[in-house]
């Protein structure tokens, strides 16, 4: 359907756009992108035959296959008509994103820190912040790629990397893993985990004092559990008020950690993360059909605090 665009005219206009522009600045890149789209559209819409066919196609609708074909053709033509300076900039940006490290030495330093007992995405995120490098770059560095190649800065071959993974599995994945359902007998443990969590460090002082055991008492132990009675109880144990209204106490009573229960917890013990992962994957409570893996359990925090998630309030621990 598309009519040929005047490539020479478009090329001259695009080259003109790049003069005096700094491609390292996001604002300039956005302006250039919008200007290039505008030029291409004007070229197309100036052709009466193209406009007629375009409107007819719009009325009839376009199949997914045809849409994809046209989209890819447009991307190809756009790329072919882009000046060399832009193509070189994109190529460098892509290479930088893949490398993500300041040097080979820095990458190797990070690589060798990823083979202790704390190996996993928690550690990778920590190292990403510490070294100010890409999280996904670290994953590529220490796991290898799907096409059985290694990151350009990986200090070992792909075969050696696979061998190191197997050795790590044998050394560190033989823990006894305990999976435990929510229960009122775990309130002290909940309080401890909450006070050690990253969430705890971010909240206001009132919520620091509103521990799981306090929420449990307000919800299940007060004779008349209303926002007013919760406020009276919180005042009596020294929890400061966030606001003068009852919103804080309604949240304690109705919304915070809905998985808290008056039942006692139950637990199952497994000989490996993989056994625990299989159990959770096939469990009836896994209503989202999530597939758990050794890695996902190893990286998981001891408890999921947020409501509405699969297995909220369940604890997964290694012994």
pLDDT tens, 63-117? Answer: 445 555 666 676 677 667 777 776 666 655 555 445 678 888 999 999 999 998 8
Quote the pLDDT of residue 127: 93
Token readout for 290 is 């999530």
Asked if residue 54 is part of any domain, the answer here is: yes
Regarding whether 134 and 165 lie in a shared domain, the answer is yes
The helix or strand, by DSSP H or E, that contains position 316, with its residue range, turns out to be strand 315-318
Asked if residue 297 is part of any domain, the answer here is: yes
Residue of higher predicted confidence among 208 and 76:
208
Quote the pLDDT of residue 46: 72
Quote the pLDDT of residue 99: 63
Whether pLDDT at 288 is above 90: no
Quote the pLDDT of residue 160: 92
Boundary-marking domain end, from 255, 273, 290: 255
Quote the pLDDT of residue 79: 66
Regarding whether 87 and 15 lie in a shared domain, the answer is yes
Categorize the per-residue pLDDT at 8 as very low, low, confident or very high, splitting at 50, 70 and 90. low
Residue of higher predicted confidence among 135 and 262:
262
Whether pLDDT at 265 is above 50: yes
Boundary-marking domain end, from 200, 220, 255: 255
Quote the pLDDT of residue 111: 95
Residue 273's domain comprises 263-318
Closest CA to 206 of 235, 248, 239: 239
Regarding whether 63 and 12 lie in a shared domain, the answer is yes
Residues 79, 265: Cα–Cα separation, whole Å: 60
Regarding whether 134 and 151 lie in a shared domain, the answer is yes
Categorize the per-residue pLDDT at 14 as very low, low, confident or very high, splitting at 50, 70 and 90. low
Whether pLDDT at 192 is above 60: yes
Asked if residue 180 is part of any domain, the answer here is: no
Quote the pLDDT of residue 301: 64
Regarding whether 135 and 123 lie in a shared domain, the answer is yes
Whether pLDDT at 22 is above 50: yes
Asked if residue 179 is part of any domain, the answer here is: no
> Residue 277 in contact with residue 296, Cβ under 8 Å?
yes
Q: Taking residues 199-206, what's their average pLDDT?
A: 80
Q: Taking residues 274-295, what's their average pLDDT?
A: 82
Asked if residue 178 is part of any domain, the answer here is: no
**Helix residue ranges, H only, the chain:** 7-18, 26-45, 48-60, 64-80, 84-99, 104-112, 121-131, 135-143, 158-172, 187-196, 198-202, 205-209, 212-220, 227-236, 247-250, 273-281, 294-299
Boundary-marking domain end, from 233, 255, 277: 255
Regarding whether 204 and 249 lie in a shared domain, the answer is yes
**For residue 224, what are the contacts with CB-CB under 8 A and spacing of at least 6?**
none
Regarding whether 89 and 18 lie in a shared domain, the answer is yes
Asked if residue 36 is part of any domain, the answer here is: yes
Q: How many domains does the chain have?
A: 4
Residue of higher predicted confidence among 300 and 195:
195
Whether pLDDT at 287 is above 80: no
Asked if residue 19 is part of any domain, the answer here is: yes
Asked if residue 109 is part of any domain, the answer here is: yes
Spatial strand order in the sheet of 315-318? 267-270, 177-180, 315-318
Residue of higher predicted confidence among 223 and 21:
223
CA 276 to chain centre: 23
Regarding whether 80 and 15 lie in a shared domain, the answer is yes
Quote the pLDDT of residue 35: 60
Regarding whether 43 and 27 lie in a shared domain, the answer is yes
Least confident of 87-96, 139-148, 168-177, 293-302: 87-96
Pairing, β 267-270 against β 177-180: antiparallel
Task: Read off the DSSP letter of residue 148.
Answer: S
Regarding whether 243 and 197 lie in a shared domain, the answer is yes
Regarding whether 269 and 243 lie in a shared domain, the answer is no
Quote the pLDDT of residue 9: 57
Categorize the per-residue pLDDT at 271 as very low, low, confident or very high, splitting at 50, 70 and 90. confident
Regarding whether 234 and 159 lie in a shared domain, the answer is no
Q: Taking residues 23-42, what's their average pLDDT?
A: 59
Quote the pLDDT of residue 63: 47
Q: Taking residues 41-70, what's their average pLDDT?
A: 64
The helix or strand, by DSSP H or E, that contains position 222, with its residue range, turns out to be none
What is the share, in percent, of the chain residues with pLDDT greater than 90?
17
């Amino acid at each position: 359907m598309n009519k040929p665009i005047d490539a020479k005219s478009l090329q001259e206009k695009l080259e003109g756009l790049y003069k005096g522009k700094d491609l390292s600045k996001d604002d300039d890149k956005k302006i250039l992108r919008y200007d290039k789209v505008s030029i291409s559209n004007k070229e197309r819409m100036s052709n009466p035959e193209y406009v007629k066919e375009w409107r007819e196609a719009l009325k009839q609708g376009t199949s997914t296959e045809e849409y994809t074909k046209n989209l890819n053709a447009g991307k190809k033509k756009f790329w072919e008509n882009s000046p060399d300076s832009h193509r070189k900039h994109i190529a460098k940006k892509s290479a930088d994103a893949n490398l993500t490290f300041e040097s080979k030495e820095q990458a190797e330093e990070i690589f060798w820190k990823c083979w202790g007992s704390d190996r996993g995405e928690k550690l990778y995120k920590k190292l990403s912040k510490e070294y100010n490098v890409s999280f996904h770059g670290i994953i590529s560095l220490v796991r290898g790629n799907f096409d059985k190649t290694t990151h350009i800065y990986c200090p070992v071959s792909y075969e050696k990397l696979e061998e190191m993974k197997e050795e790590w599995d044998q050394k560190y994945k033989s823990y006894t893993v305990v999976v435990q359902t929510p229960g009122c007998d775990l309130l002290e443990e909940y309080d401890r985990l909450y006070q050690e969590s990253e969430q705890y460090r971010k909240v206001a002082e009132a919520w620091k004092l509103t521990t799981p055991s306090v929420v449990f008492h307000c919800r299940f132990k007060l004779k008349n559990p209303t926002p007013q009675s919760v406020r009276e109880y919180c005042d009596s144990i020294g929890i400061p008020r966030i606001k003068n209204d009852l919103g804080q106490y309604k949240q304690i009573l109705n919304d915070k950690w809905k998985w808290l229960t008056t039942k006692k917890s139950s637990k199952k013990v497994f000989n490996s993360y993989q056994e625990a992962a299989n159990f959770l994957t096939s469990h009836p409570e896994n209503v989202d059909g999530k597939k758990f893996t050794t890695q996902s359990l190893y990286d998981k925090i001891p408890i999921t605090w947020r409501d509405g998630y699969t297995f909220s309030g369940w604890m997964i621990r290694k012994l």
